[in-house]
Chains A and B, each alone.
Chain A
Amino acid sequence: MELDISTHVSGQIWKLEVSEGEMVSKEQIICIVECMKMEIPIVAAESGHLKCWHVSEQDSVIEGQSIGVLVKGV
């Protein structure tokens, strides 16, 4: 099952912590958004693998924006 990854804060993509195709576990930090000089982690909602990112590091994002796709399951 494909899950949309969205950011709950506006800011700038500071780090994409996993690459496309990489396995992730539930609650793992997969991306960090910089907002108001703070590093806000975006965590994986489920275990699975990262299908793709829609954004690159340094991109500006807004609250609720879809930033990637996670595939649930192994």
Chain B
Amino acid sequence: MVWDNEINELKQRQKLSKNQGGKESVSKHHAKGRLTIRERIDKLLDAKTFDEVGSGAGVPIYDAKDKLEDFQPANFVLGFGEIGSRKVIVGGEDFTLKGGSPNPAGLRKSVYAEHLALQYKIPLIRLHEGGGGAVGGTSQNKNHRPLGEPVFSISRFQPLAQTLGVIPVVTAALGPVAGLPASRLVASHFSIMTKNAAVLIAGPQVVKRALGKELSKEELGGPEVHLKSGVINNLAEDEEDAFYQIKRFLSFLPDNAWQRPKRIISSDSPNRFADELSSIVPKSSRQPFQMRKIINHIVDLDRGVTTFFEIGAKFGPSLITGLARLDGHSVAVIANDCMHYAGSMTASAAQKLRRFIDFCNSFHLPVISLIDEPGFMIGAESESEGTIRYGTEAISAVMQSRVPWASVQIHKAFGVAAQAHFGPQAYVLSWPSAKSGALPVEGGVAVAFSREIAAADDPAKRQRELEEMLATSQSPFPKSEGFSVHELIDPKETRVKLVNWLNLAVNAQTDTPEPFYFSMRP
């Protein structure tokens, strides 16, 4: 054949590039309980669907007779693939080569991942493990001066910023991730880390030199730190679990912002009543209840298992956020968790809400809001965290929202923070256990009637009387009488009511889906 020699060299190069960092480096990596990037991609994607891009990028090494001896590939593997027969782009650093710190071809390919996703408008998955650039630049030739990018080049952070508005981006930290990869890690809609991963701006040595503090990688950026900091949304038991959660997350989303999420056929009955809901909220407002149980009674069950997929449980834990199916439609769920600060809105819960609502608007996810909001968190700590600003920012995000919105008043809905739970033109249902007003009676009465209480013969008795009197006004019945709610319902009917509403709301969407943009917020 005419091109035999060239085709043979091509095949040899491809074979050599699959050796990654070499046998020794790969077995060292395996010994740490981690998969290589190629193994990760294979496990994540449907079998045999990886369609690599740039497999030939790297540096060939020739022997004295000019015969190809070795090939050092780019240490970022990139390509197309399928998840559940749906096209995605996947990429990740090869830790077995230079610890994932980019070599020149690796850097080019890693930066290109976002360009590719923007061009083909399909979800992007980045599996991160590795450090950022070295002080001397990414060039392997130490005599080369680092020249930097030309002035006319587009910053690599520009496509990184653009992706979030138009395509779903999912990232995983599957080992140590520092510097640029750490920044790329958080530039996503959903981030996950394994137990033995760490996410760092700079590692222990740099921290010791700069700050004189000796801290381990785990202390600086292990799961304990970053699930609470909000840098990482979910913890994965192991890499398999990380891939499973990535697939789950993506299953709720469209390919891009110009599409709506696809409805699937639900095996759960739209007419299922949940009797248990009618007694789940205790009469005493001091007694907490399990909001997650309520969510699971309302959303679709898939062969008896809830379709609710929680995102970011440890960050701003007084607010629960997640995705689920309702009569086969993808929906976003927000709900207060009274087990944490009575469900009140802290600065971190507000940031979590703002970010989640922007995500829902970007991918056209209807919102189901289950309300037990006592108000903004109070006290010195809350004030110094700037809760009022983040809270008002979250409310603004909710007010700018353009997706169908249903709000169910489960229990409390007090103060300004309550407004964060009702989107524009929300369909409002109320349970008999609902209470609403400017302030909870317990605190509000003492403030508003302080003189009257102080002047009474028996101040404690007078306060109780006033509290009882005002508690009546916070009941859901006057709200129903005044048509301040669409329907006051028996809690067991919640699922049926929401399913009916959702089908109407989805049917009424006549506008063409497009990316969501918004103006400045508080």
Contact = CB atoms under 8 A, between A and B. Distances in A.
Interface of A: 8-10, 35-41
B223 to A, nearest CB: 14
Interface size class of B (residues with CB under 8 A): 10 to 19
B23 interface: no
B140 interface: no
A34 to B, nearest CB: 8
B339 interface: yes
B340 A9 contact: yes
Contacts of A36: 341-342, 344, 374, 377
Interface of B: 285-288, 317, 338-342, 344, 374, 377, 440, 442
B286 A9 contact: no
A35 B341 contact: yes
B227 to A, nearest CB: 13
A36 B374 CA distance: 9
Nearest to B341: A36
Contact of A9 (B285, B339, B374, B442): B339
A40 B318 CA distance: 13
9 contacts: A9-B340, A9-B341, A36-B374, A37-B286, A38-B288, A39-B287, A39-B288, A40-B288, A41-B288
A41 B340 CA distance: 11
Given A36-B377, A38-B285, A38-B342, 6 more contacts: A36-B344, A37-B286, A37-B342, A37-B442, A38-B338, A40-B339
A30 to B, nearest CB: 15
A58 to B, nearest CB: 17
Contacts of B338: 38
A9 B339 CA distance: 8
Q: Which of A36, A37, A40, A41 has the most CB of B within 10 A?
A: A36
Contacts of B340: 8-9
A37 B341 CA distance: 9
| Nearest 8 interchain pairs by C-beta | A36-B342, A38-B342, A39-B286, A38-B288, A36-B341, A38-B286, A40-B339, A37-B442
Contacts of A10: 341
A21 to B, nearest CB: 28
Contacts of A40: 288, 339
B440 to A, nearest CB: 8
Contacts of B317: 8
Nearest to A34: B286
A49 to B, nearest CB: 25
A41 B288 CA distance: 8
Nearest to A39: B286
A70 to B, nearest CB: 20
A29 B397 CA distance: 39
A41 to B, nearest CB: 7
Nearest to B314: A8
Contacts of A35: 341-342
A39 B442 CA distance: 15
A55 to B, nearest CB: 19
A9 B338 CA distance: 11
Q: Which of A8, A10, A37, A41 has the most CB of B within 10 A?
A: A37
A40 B342 CA distance: 9
A11 B381 CA distance: 13
Q: Which of A10, A35, A38, A40 has the most CB of B within 10 A?
A: A38
Contacts of A39: 286-288
Contacts of B287: 38-39
B384 to A, nearest CB: 15
A10 B379 CA distance: 12
A41 B442 CA distance: 21
Contacts of B341: 9-10, 35-36
